[in-house]
Structure 1
Amino acid sequence: MLAINMADVISVIKSIAPQLIAIVTLFVAALVVMFITRKEKPAFRKLVRSLSWLIFGLGTVFCINLMLNGPLKTMITLATGRGVITESSLNDAKTLGEEISSEGIVLLKNDSALPIQKGSKINLFGWSSTNPLYGGTGSGGLNDSFPTVSLIEGLQNAGFEVNEELVKFYTDFRQTRPTVGMWGQDWTIPEPTIEQYNEANILENARNYSDKAIVVIARSGGEGADLPRSLDPNVEDTFVDGGTFGSKGIRYSDQKDDLDADKSYLELSNREIAMLDAVNKKFKNIVVIINASNPMELGFVNEYENISGVIWCPGVGQTGFNALGKILDGEVNPSGKTSDIFVYDLKNTPSYNNFGNFNYTNMDEFAVEDRGTSYNPSFVNYVEGIYVGYRFYETAAKENAINYAGYVQYPFGYGLSYTVFTKEMGEIVANDGNISIDVLVTNTGNTAGKDVVQLYYNPPYTNGGIEKASTNLVGFAKTKLLQPGDSQTVKITFAVEDMASFDEKIKKAYVLEAGVYEISLQEDSHNILDTRTFPVEEDILYGETNKRSSDMEVATNKLDDMRGNFTVLSRKDQFANLDEALKPPTDFELPADKKAAFLNNSNYDGKNFDIESDEMPKTNAGNKIKLVDLRGLDYDDEAWNSLLDNLSFEDMSKLVALGGYQTTTIGKIGKVQTVDCDGPSSINNNFTKKGSIGLPATIMLANTFNTDLAHSFGENIGNMASQMEVSGWYAPAMNTHRSAFAGRNFEYFSEDPLLAGKIASEAVKGAADYGVYAYIKHFALNDQETNRNYQLMTWADEQTVREIYLRPFEICVKKGKAKAVMSAFNHYGITPASASNEVLNKILRDEWGFRGMVLTDYFGAGGYGYMNADRGIRNGNDFCLTAIDAGYNYVKDKSATSMMALRKASHNILYTTVNSRAYAPENLDLGMMRWQVATIMIDIICVIAALLLAIKAWKNYGKRKALERSEAPIDTVGTDTSVADVDVIEENKNIDNE
């Protein structure tokens, strides 16, 4: 999230402007003194000038100190961070990264091509074989401080020999991967022309080298931009600036033959097709490796008769390609499952027409400027409702609305193995509101391996009633490594209430409708192995007198204002409104009533929302209590009031304002600075540029379906963070894969909320084992990069929001005990996610029982026109992700309402940080940072030196004055100078030299 942004640079300069002005003023004053004393007697002139420059020097030192210990203190402290990761921890991370990849790489197709005999000679085709992808870009990128195991090295480490002529051919063609990042987008798909292959006789030479061919296809993605849906840059809406980190610099290189308007970035390019055509003619048993985190259109693998093996290998981190080599030679049996569905035509996905750039035409007065361009508020309609990913395809097929086989290539939860497993489903055991089912898994093949057990439920559906998908993941588990003939009984338990649906129209609550619930053991989202039934005799309403057991307060309608003016896809009458619901938007005007209520920084005034009954809280009480004394106490312990009474308005405003990559200090209560860092798969200190080993992309972690590995992932991150003296981790990110074209899908987990929530929860708990609080993000519905911080209004019905988009976060709060949240850039309807009382207070805190702190996403200069600390704290967002005065991140309103909100925000921040690793006895350091000690020492030296120089100047002045008084009368003849005068001049020179 951190990048050099000119607006931020200007904000920094503004913050130190008073000190810079003072330095310039002192300098000008010294020059003025030089000028006005030019005719004074030498002794006086020398004294005044010397003292003026001493004052300038001391004043400059004083001003620099004010800058360093004032506006720049946070950034300097962050930039001088300490901590080193031990070699042992780095080695553990390398091993874990390989283990995650070994269980997250998915075997999609295998017609006897795999495994390949160890030691074989291999031809690697495709430019990406020499320049693969290890993860994504932006805040989720890997730290380049550590070497990566390349794809070629991974194969070589497994014992394969690689055709070096092919390697040289590709590296000579191009050495570096195009930039797809926060500052620019080059969507070039580097691949030589078939003429270049033929001119170098590459294919014939390769066939002579070996009969084994592996083709590597890769697609990049990252923060700041969504993937283009057309490879022709002249097509409208190919790419829209994704926000402050996006760029207008879109490139497609000079590969004009690849600029095909009818193809998206997630299809094969013309050059890739030509290469595959040629390879298919020369080789049998071709293996294709898809090195991409976004599901591509892979129908081509069925069109080439010689493609007999396909592997999906998302970002592997810095060591994961070793696992790929071991899977290719059979040392490791693949056990990964798809965390997203793979379809033949991405243009036919439910969200396709309502994903991307849609701007309001009647909101000009609320437009914001970014790098010289004006952006009107934008919007996105979640027309598909709850039917996201596999939920749509399975349900639509059940209703005969689509031909499943013609739409879906690889279901959700799909993945092949080198061995064979059988699964036997036990009977349902219902007890205390939970359902448990034992599944006996047996390896009946000839190779050791792991497998995934998946349970789905199909609820009873009434035509025209509450929307329900026919297939819903309700539980999963990964087996241990099973040798041939071995068995393991896996128990999966889930709450009956987890099968309830949210009825926003009639009951306005979760309802478990009467009927028969089918609970199926499945190979994936489509293929059923066995089924049991669970009858519910009558409707169960989770209302005022019977809230869900996991809720602190009853869940009821709170998001009516998010429902937009569009048709939502419905299962009614076999998806009769399919074509109507999924068409592109036609209304580009925000309704008048919504526009009248719309607020951004141009018209927001917190005082208009002050509450008369609010009472001014105590401040500056002077109680002796310190923050460390409250470690381990309950959030509602009375001692908190004593501590909070000590804070001043300035203390609280600073705590709220400066939350960028840290929580700031408050000396009077012993509040130390805690450091927070980026990185969903690593720890990246944006200020020191220090970082950790990069683990695989989180989509790879989701593919493992292994919660134990997810916990180890979190532990490893937490351990490395603690060694770097980092207490907060800006991750895990768990926004939903609504579209395959979303730029940050690599760092989000899945299209399924249960899989995302359970994997993320374990990562949160693992980090917490080391006292590191994880900021679950981006809360919520930040599912596209396009216009993400250009006042993007997200419109969806409440059932959709709760069941699909809030669900992973809900699981992380309830099961993972998350203590920190990062709110999102986008809006819920007309309300910023960072200022939504309904979501941040009523749902997150009141319903789910969250106790912790909420941080904004990156708080750019001016708050992007809508982010505002005063508005945030009044509605549940506690502090701002910036280390500078960015405008609107400092609260200035001192009304009782504002002060109470500041107090609560401070409580949330202090509660979270005091219970983190920062306040563990072995880590607690209430002293000053080393750089601050250094500045004090420099100050002392400067003051002493200035005093000595001032004393010396005064003594010299006395000597000069004495000489001037002792001057003899000067007798001059013509231009001769008297002997006495010469003596005075010489003496003054000697004093000056001193």
Structure 2
Amino acid sequence: MLGINMDDVIAVIKSIRVELIVVVLALLLALVITVAINKHTVSNRNVRKLTHSTTWVVAAVAIVAAVSTMLSGPLSSMITMTTAQKQHLSQQSIDNTNKLAVEIEREGITMLQNNNHMLPLRTSGATRNLNVFGWASTNPVYGGTGSGALDTTYPTTSLLDSLHQAGYRTNTDLSKFYTDYSTKRGAIEVTKADWTLPEPPAAQYSDSLMRGAKKFSSTAMVVISRIGGEGTDLPTDMNAKNITYKNNSKQYADFTKGQHYLELDKSEHDMVDLVAKNFENVVLVYNGANAFNLSFLRQYPQIKSALWVPHPGQAGFKALGEVLNGSVNPSGKTSDTFLYDLKNTPSWNNFGDFAYNNVKEFEIQSARGLRSPRFVNYVEGIYVGYRYYESAADEGAINYDDVVQYPFGYGLSYTNFTQRMGDISRSGDKVSFDVTVTNSGSRPGKDVVETYSTPPYTDGGVEKATANLVAFDKTKELKPGESQNIHVTFNTADLASYDYRGAKSYVLDAGDYGISIRSDSHHVIASRNLSVAQAVTYDKASNTHDGDKVAATNRFDDVAGNVTYLSRANRFENERTSTAAPSDYAMPDKVKRTFYNNGNYDPKKFDKPGDKMPTTDAKNGIRLAQMRGKSYNDPMWDKLLDQLSIKEMDGLIANGGYQNAAVPSIGKPRMSDVDGPAALKDNFTGVGSIGLPSNVTVACTWNKDIARRFGDAIGRMARDMHISGWYAPSVNIHRSPFGGRNFEYFSEDPLLTGDMAAGQVLGAAKHGIYSFTKHFALNEQEVQRNGQLCTWSNEQAMREIYLKPFEIVVKASLGTPQAIMGSFNYVGNTYASGLNSLNETVLRKEWGFRGFIVTDYFSGPNYGYQNADQLIRGGTDVMLASTQTTNHVTDLSATSVIQMRRAAKNVLYTTVNSWMFEHGEPRAQTPTWKKAMYVVWVVVAVVLVALEALAIRRFARRRKEARNAFESRSRC
């Protein structure tokens, strides 16, 4: 999603330009007539005055008419949303959500290091006092920015608050030192970013301050934080020309050339060095959602413990103090791999801004200048995150311990666990076994059972990683000595790989599949072999993959592009060449021939000759409420759809920004759809909800029940706020640690992402809220996301990695109509929201999705490639537009109207099954502003009629007086 920016302002002005011209012309014409009709041109003073008054009355009528057209037309949706009645949270929702936020953070905080068992720290004696270093200790990160930003209405538990609540006393001199230095960090906004990291230079720590600190306590905490946000990715080079930040000292630069945002800057490094020289017992707290370069921990044996504390929302920080004092045993596991050097990711050279150099014909003029098409190559194929590091290590292509600092799925505890794996059984398509988890330590705690598969691989054959998460579950809290049996189950189809070159379908190869339980992606606890005697190809209607409605086959051959993909063949022999930075910046002629934006898209070229105009404006007397609970294929839908006019369908399709438009003729009221992933945020009324911890935190819990309770809380708050649709969850993959929106996505792994997101969707659905799982699809970077960004990936990677979370959510929520939000980028050379093979063939026909698809924020002429005509043909149903641009259907051919009818059905099917219709037809209300406009019409009409009548009466009186005077002079 996008916030309001200059492009939006220009779009609004363009949408009302006709009305504005009428207003200006009316004023100018009235002024011209007033000046022109003077005593030199019209000698009769009486006629002159009447003409003047009538002119201004007519001008006023024209202006009122123009303004009314403006308000009830292009600005109607925006004003309706802005003036909507404000609905606030109940106190019960506030209390319950804040409580849940703390529970999520308790299980999401991940202990990365705990040498000499430094933690937990006692809250009595010497360790009760705690020196907290780092500017971020007084200004930590609670959530991301953009659509994922938190509401500032509600109180926030700070990092220092959490320590005080846990029984610690902190050094107030240090805290004052930081707040005196600065009270705010650089702002990360949708269209611009200030990456400044306020951190006092080490030279500013006075001798007296450090003496006082050492006297106060022998224990220190260091806090490092990082923030990300919508619209921009985290800088991979802080000295790049388009990066803005301020150094903390005139004596040195915080970042030298080539340094990135996810490593310590010099001021931070000097601070850590200062602390390490003065304290023997140091705990590091990393407060951020993106995997960080923590390699510096090797330099400092004094830093005995390290905690990853992702964005906690408004109340979650309370959990930090509880983890430190041991009242909560940390059970978080990493949702991403932490590397010693983040430049060692296979995506490093192919993440960023790459502009085509031969596409002048596709350039778009916007408020910020010319936009030319970009591209990004997903060269790593399926080898994303741990799949690469585990496979490369197994093949001898890397030394794992030199590259990976903390594996995926890694996290320490204050206690110890043992896991015993039972025998594997197979019944039909189901694979299952039991794992007995025992707390063999001295403290209560929770553990995670992580199950991975290692498929048989033929060198040079279908790409396969040596470790693939296939199932996971979390135990209850186990007391010392207590055991719990975890029943692990998954489908054999989950072991299949997608062969996009040969079979062009999912294939389960014959051979032995290693099924292992691991403490993380790298360390095997136990393993068993599952033998598949005969290969299975999922290419028939009677044998589809994972319950697909039709067999999956190649749909995206054109999306692979001219890209060489990373291969495991010959021990990753092609790694250096395949993952190198792009060298060819020319868009191929073949791609150009079918590349469309608003400059060359002609809907008539895509009309189907055999299409016949469907029925509209029928009088069948069906109300939408009657359709609740009926099957998507119920014939009664056709009768309802026959009633709709083209104008009504167009209004429903075009005006879908932060709302679901009204269709009064069938009893459908306007409904409210809002941002964002960690909180509900109504951008127009300004009302927001409690902010929960980020999805990274949710993923680090590895607790599916937590995810469902997250969705449940969203659903309850949505009901309080009178909201129907939730623009979340966000399920794109952490392809790179530098993704600007990684805080609102879950993980580098598609199963962990999909299962946690599905829990959120089902939790919200329990309350009749439909969720917009987003961004569909391949939206793994923010840079140039709306710059006609052509994303190239092979179909295996698309299906196994990037589409998989969407597939999991869709299949988990079948029967509870939901929604999908498209992405800004192009998939291959076609805008994602206009790609029929994605939105219709895969989503609806293969997976069985029943619901509606909305675009990401719609600013058609400014981005240059969004138009309703193309998108309804591409399977999208609604334009996320809040003002009139290219969001209305202009081609009213039979093909268009058929697609409009399909889109309307998808929207109505979803909304009638939401909570708004659970008690029958909702009562429609005229917006307050419209009532006010009607009153103004009446008042203005009365005033203008009165003024004109008065002018005419005065004219008649003066004319009579003049006639009497003339007659009197004549008699004389």
- 8 Å CA contact 1:286–1:308 kept in 2: the answer is yes
Q: 2:307 aligns with which of 296, 305, 311?
A: 311
d(CA) in 2 for partners of 1:440, 1:299: 35
d(CA) in 2 for partners of 1:157, 1:618: 66
1:323 aligned onto 2:319: yes
d(CA) in 2 for partners of 1:845, 1:270: 52
2:186 aligned residue: 178
- 8 Å CA contact 2:367–2:862 kept in 1: the answer is no
Q: 2:941 aligns with which of 914, 927, 943?
A: 943
- 8 Å CA contact 1:185–1:251 kept in 2: the answer is no
Residue 772 of structure 1: how far off its partner (Å): 1.3
1:125 aligned residue: 133
Distance 1:849 1:252, change over 3 A: farther
Q: Any residues of structure 2 matched to 1:77-88 within 5 Å, and which?
A: 77-82=80-85, 83-88=87-92
Q: Is the deviation greater in 19-28 or in 449-458? A: 19-28
1:226 aligned onto 2:224: no
Residue 564 of structure 1: how far off its partner (Å): 2.3
d(CA) in 2 for partners of 1:649, 1:49: 44
1:593 aligned residue: 590
- 8 Å CA contact 2:340–2:405 kept in 1: the answer is yes
Q: Any residues of structure 2 matched to 1:306-455 within 5 Å, and which?
A: 306-455=302-451
Q: 1:205 aligns with which of 189, 206, 212?
A: 212
Residue 28 of structure 1: how far off its partner (Å): 4.0
Q: Is the deviation greater in 137-146 or in 861-870? A: 861-870
1:943-978 Cα distance to aligned partner (Å, 9 max, x none): 344444555555555544444444487899xxxxxx
Q: Any residues of structure 2 matched to 1:486-501 within 5 Å, and which?
A: 486-501=482-497
1:84-122 Cα distance to aligned partner (Å, 9 max, x none): 211111111111111111110101111221111125111
Q: 1:608 aligns with which of 605, 608, 613?
A: 605
Q: Is the deviation greater in 354-363 or in 842-851? A: 354-363
Q: 1:514 aligns with which of 507, 510, 517?
A: 510
1:73 aligned onto 2:80: no
Distance 1:61 1:330, change over 3 A: same
- 8 Å CA contact 2:365–2:862 kept in 1: the answer is no
1:401-448 Cα distance to aligned partner (Å, 9 max, x none): 211111111111111111122222222232341122222222222222
Residue 596 of structure 1: how far off its partner (Å): 2.2
1:11 aligned residue: 11
- 8 Å CA contact 1:231–1:258 kept in 2: the answer is no
Q: Is the deviation greater in 663-672 or in 695-704? A: 663-672
Residue 878 of structure 1: how far off its partner (Å): 1.3
The alignment yields a C-alpha RMSD, in angstroms, of 2.2
Q: Which amino acid aligns with 1:204?
A: R
Q: 1:809 aligns with which of 797, 806, 810?
A: 806
SS in 2 for 1:180: coil
1:91 aligned residue: 95
Residue 723 of structure 1: how far off its partner (Å): 1.6
1:279 aligned onto 2:279: no
d(CA) in 2 for partners of 1:853, 1:693: 27
Residue 29 of structure 1: how far off its partner (Å): 4.6
Distance 1:59 1:538, change over 3 A: same
1:628 aligned residue: 625
- 8 Å CA contact 2:11–2:859 kept in 1: the answer is no
Distance 1:33 1:322, change over 3 A: same
1:976 aligned residue: none
d(CA) in 1 for partners of 2:258, 2:698: 33
Distance 1:16 1:598, change over 3 A: closer
Q: Which amino acid aligns with 1:110?
A: N
Q: Any residues of structure 2 matched to 1:140-289 within 5 Å, and which?
A: 140-197=148-205, 199=206, 201-234=208-241, 256-289=252-285
SS in 2 for 1:231: coil
d(CA) in 2 for partners of 1:330, 1:923: 53
1:877 aligned onto 2:876: yes
Q: Which amino acid aligns with 2:476?
A: K
Q: Is the deviation greater in 35-44 or in 330-339? A: 35-44
What is the TM-score normalised by the length of structure 1? 0.93
Residue 202 of structure 1: how far off its partner (Å): 2.5
1:64 aligned onto 2:62: no
Q: Which amino acid aligns with 1:80?
A: T
1:469-523 Cα distance to aligned partner (Å, 9 max, x none): 1111111111112222222222222111111111111111111111111111111
- 8 Å CA contact 1:288–1:307 kept in 2: the answer is yes
1:551-596 Cα distance to aligned partner (Å, 9 max, x none): 0000011111011223211111222222222221212112221222
Residue 51 of structure 1: how far off its partner (Å): 4.4
Q: What is the percentage of aligned positions where both structures have the same residue?
A: 47
Structure 1: tracts of 5 or more residues without a match: 240-248, 973-979, 981-994
SS in 2 for 1:935: helix
Q: Which amino acid aligns with 1:92?
A: N
d(CA) in 1 for partners of 2:480, 2:294: 32
1:32-64 Cα distance to aligned partner (Å, 9 max, x none): 554527556566555554444444444433333
1:693 aligned onto 2:690: yes
What is the TM-score normalised by the length of structure 2? 0.95
Count the aligned residue pairs: 960
d(CA) in 2 for partners of 1:42, 1:254: 76
Q: Is the deviation greater in 905-914 or in 643-652? A: 643-652
- 8 Å CA contact 1:616–1:895 kept in 2: the answer is yes
SS in 2 for 1:380: strand
SS in 1 for 2:742: coil
d(CA) in 1 for partners of 2:156, 2:477: 28
Q: Which amino acid aligns with 2:401?
A: A
Distance 1:954 1:598, change over 3 A: closer
Q: 1:900 aligns with which of 875, 898, 901?
A: 898
Residue 645 of structure 1: how far off its partner (Å): 1.6
Distance 1:826 1:254, change over 3 A: farther
Distance 1:549 1:314, change over 3 A: closer
2:708 aligned residue: 711
Q: Any residues of structure 2 matched to 1:11-30 within 5 Å, and which?
A: 11-30=11-30
1:647 aligned residue: 644
1:932 aligned residue: 930
d(CA) in 1 for partners of 2:295, 2:604: 59
Residue 15 of structure 1: how far off its partner (Å): 2.3
- 8 Å CA contact 1:917–1:923 kept in 2: the answer is no
- 8 Å CA contact 1:863–1:889 kept in 2: the answer is no
1:751-801 Cα distance to aligned partner (Å, 9 max, x none): 000000000001011111121111111111100111111111111111011
1:683 aligned residue: 680
- 8 Å CA contact 1:458–1:518 kept in 2: the answer is yes
- 8 Å CA contact 2:366–2:861 kept in 1: the answer is no
Q: Which amino acid aligns with 2:83?
A: T
SS in 1 for 2:101: helix
Residue 863 of structure 1: how far off its partner (Å): 5.3
Residue 365 of structure 1: how far off its partner (Å): 1.8
SS in 1 for 2:239: coil
Distance 1:725 1:796, change over 3 A: same
Structure 2: tracts of 5 or more residues without a match: none
- 8 Å CA contact 1:203–1:279 kept in 2: the answer is no
Distance 1:971 1:585, change over 3 A: closer
d(CA) in 1 for partners of 2:210, 2:430: 60
d(CA) in 2 for partners of 1:410, 1:99: 24
- 8 Å CA contact 1:418–1:447 kept in 2: the answer is yes
1:662-718 Cα distance to aligned partner (Å, 9 max, x none): 122222222321111111000111111211111111100110111111111111112
SS in 2 for 1:175: coil
Q: Is the deviation greater in 99-108 or in 599-608? A: 599-608
1:105 aligned residue: 109
